[in-house]
Amino acid sequence: MIQCIAIDDEPLALRQIGSYIDKTPFLELKETFESPLDAITYLQSNKVDLMFVDINMPDLNGMDFVKSLNNPPKIIFTTAYSEYALEGFKVDAIDYLLKPIDYAAFLKASLKAEKWFSIQQKPKEELKSDNDFLFIKSEYKIVRIKIEDIKYVEGMREYIRIHLVNDKPIMTLLSMKAMEKQLDEKDFMRVHRSYIVNLKKITTIERNRIIFDKVYIPISEQHKEKFQEFIGKNFLS
């Protein structure tokens, strides 16, 4: 169950959202608030997965309320003003519901949230290894990758892009940390928060950058010492 709260200074609108949550099987309504200030107090001691937040409210509008939170729950905004849509997505909102809200639109937005949460619970299941191969979910398919064919891995927020020898890159919803754990540290090294490289595929290094074809991968200060150790062990002078 996705645990929710709803915030709206209009009592009728708040009751409507509350009733929609109650009739949706995978949502659980924990509390409703007519003021975001009351919601802040609640969130300090209660865990919530999803918030339905009105934007136009007195004292503190919904957008500023969300921005004020450290590690806020996921958000679906509700408002009568369409001009806030772009700003809503800038704070990583799952969706944006324009009032008056019918249940069909509410359910569609809620299903987006359910899909997001189900994906977050699966990353560890999407990466399987038998030492020589990785099985990775990409675009609704399970793809088998030979580990030795990986040139480098590129981090892209929630996703990673796996760059291969003689094949197109593969995107998957996975963290760099999870990928790093699956790769043998004798052959692969994290050289930057956004890059893991196959040490066996390195042919050229220039000014603290690894060059793969026309791609320049930076070696960050945090990882420079470990990388230089690797170079020193294999350097012929």
> What pLDDT was estimated at residue 125?
43
Q: What CATH number is given to the structural domain containing 197?
A: 2.40.50.1020
Beta bridge partners of 121: none
- Taking phi first (over 0 means left), then psi (-120 to 50 degrees means alpha), and beta for anything else, what does residue 33 get? beta
pLDDT digits (tens, 9 = 90+) for 110-133: 999 998 888 776 544 455 656 788
- The DSSP bridge pattern shows strands 74-79 and 95-98 to be parallel
Quote the domain boundaries for residue 190: 125-233
202 band by pLDDT with thresholds 50, 70 and 90: very high
Same domain, 101 and 47: yes
Cα gap 169→150, rounded to integer Å: 9
> What pLDDT was estimated at residue 130?
60
Cα gap 225→157, rounded to integer Å: 25
42 band by pLDDT with thresholds 50, 70 and 90: very high
Predicted TM-score (pTM) of this structure: 0.53
Same domain, 107 and 132: no
Q: What CATH number is given to the structural domain containing 71?
A: 3.40.50.2300
120, 155, 176 - which closes a domain: 120
Same domain, 140 and 164: yes
Cα gap 79→102, rounded to integer Å: 13
Same domain, 17 and 78: yes
> What pLDDT was estimated at residue 90?
56
pLDDT digits (tens, 9 = 90+) for 171-181: 988 889 989 98
Same domain, 16 and 96: yes
Same domain, 140 and 188: yes
67, 93, 120 - which closes a domain: 120
Same domain, 113 and 133: no
Same domain, 23 and 53: yes
pLDDT digits (tens, 9 = 90+) for 50-85: 999 999 888 888 889 998 998 899 999 998 876 655
Same domain, 150 and 210: yes
Cα gap 94→75, rounded to integer Å: 6
94, 120, 146 - which closes a domain: 120
Same domain, 16 and 68: yes
